Copies of this chain bind each other. A is one copy, B any other.
């Protein structure tokens, strides 16, 4: 690289740093404070501050000199640049071009629509009212159809959304894998439902003191390698993680004193995400690459820790005596009953309540509906009928109302259209993981994945780590073995 190129690169990085400072502060720290500590009446001023900072972030992204410098490197032969620079330029383009390709007026309309639709959605859900949301949903989908045209796609409009959330994925690949997976799970579920094996479910009802659940959370996080000098855990309204840098990663958890499982799940799901964030190389700040490769990869790591790891026999062989120490009521429950109980499979209306197996069907249903909407094969007003039919066909249950059905998720009403496949793709990625002791798992992940931040895109990362492309067979195998054992089928 020439001297002048280096100076140009330095300018880009200085500008990126400013955006990172504001983003971490506004999206993570101020938001974290809002959901954990902020007194009730603080909301008005906080909202003003957060919307001001969002505006500043937007302004920095639109800066002409910055964008000219980025275009300069984009026009260069990428062979002559190192991988970090190429990834950074690609990332910046992705962050801004997607928005910049949308005409400013339309983008403003969309943002405004999203903001009001979330409020409407919340009311409709409460009142079991789908009709009122129809025109909003139609407008949102029309926007996304337009976006797909602005962004471009290879074969079908939905491809544009898929590659926005997960660079390098297309509809054909996903369709093939999802059909395979769906058909397999539907059949497996039927056999599970016919199984005569007794699963103890009532063992999870009881009194689980908050202080004990908190101790369990800290213990698990400590064992999987969470660095408490570079992060913390707090209680908040809904579980999430918020990194203020790789050295300050905050997990939010919630305690249910009647059931320890939500806190347990968060300690592994959120814990896995937190390990990812802590493992990112510090040198990547100032490049937009100091973040996970994609939402899917992040979710994949989280679901690995939550399910493949945290619901395995091996996990409970080691951890059950410790859990019994925290919650003595389990002393009367044999380990095998506990293991089967925590892996109980049961069709539910609500995605958030689903088990490891049926969760995938919830995602596939959403995926199929979104795909058909985008590709003009489904009308908004027909969603409820299709939704209910699919729940009947795949899960064998029919939602009694909209709130327990089509209106349960805010996602499609808040700009996360096309996001759902992420959850399930994550499960495939999990198969890249070998077993080992708890901190070693983190070391392996760190070296192979975390440290690279977003240098590689998800597909590159999979290939580099596993020497294979993404496929569904490993995941199907895993599910098959697990549930055959549990349900003796």
Of B17, B231, B248, which is within 8 A of A46 by CB?
B248
A interface, over-half SS: helix
* Bound CA–CA A41/B244 (angstroms): 11
B247 near A37: Cβ-Cβ < 8 Å: no
Of B33, B42, B52, B285, which is within 8 A of A245 by CB?
B42
B33 near A247: Cβ-Cβ < 8 Å: no
Q: Which of A46, A228, A231, A232 has the most CB of B within 10 A?
A: A46
CB distance from A285 to the nearest CB of B (A): 8
B244 near A21: Cβ-Cβ < 8 Å: no
Chain copies in the assembly?
2
B229 near A39: Cβ-Cβ < 8 Å: yes
Give residues 229-244 of A contacting B (CB, 8 Å): 229-232, 234, 244
Q: Which residue of B lies closest to A246 (CB)?
A: B45
Q: Which residue of B lies closest to A278 (CB)?
A: B41
A21 near B229: Cβ-Cβ < 8 Å: no
* Bound CA–CA A29/B50 (angstroms): 13
A81 in the interface (beta carbon within 8 A):
no
A21 near B53: Cβ-Cβ < 8 Å: yes
Of B33, B48, B248, which is within 8 A of A29 by CB?
B33
Chain B residues near A231 (CB, 8 Å)? 39
Of B17, B45, B228, which is within 8 A of A244 by CB?
B45
CB distance from A15 to the nearest CB of B (A): 12
A227 in the interface (beta carbon within 8 A):
yes
With A25-B49, A29-B30, A48-B21: A41-B232 Cβ-Cβ less than 8 Å: no
A45 near B245: Cβ-Cβ < 8 Å: yes
CB distance from A94 to the nearest CB of B (A): 24
A44 in the interface (beta carbon within 8 A):
yes
A24 in the interface (beta carbon within 8 A):
yes
A247 near B45: Cβ-Cβ < 8 Å: yes
CB distance from A277 to the nearest CB of B (A): 12
CB distance from A83 to the nearest CB of B (A): 24
Give residues 1-40 of A contacting B (CB, 8 Å): 17-18, 21, 24-25, 29-30, 33, 37-40
Chain A interface (Cβ within 8 Å of chain B)?
A: 17-18, 21, 24-25, 29-30, 33, 37-42, 44-46, 48-49, 52-53, 227-232, 234, 244-245, 247-248, 285
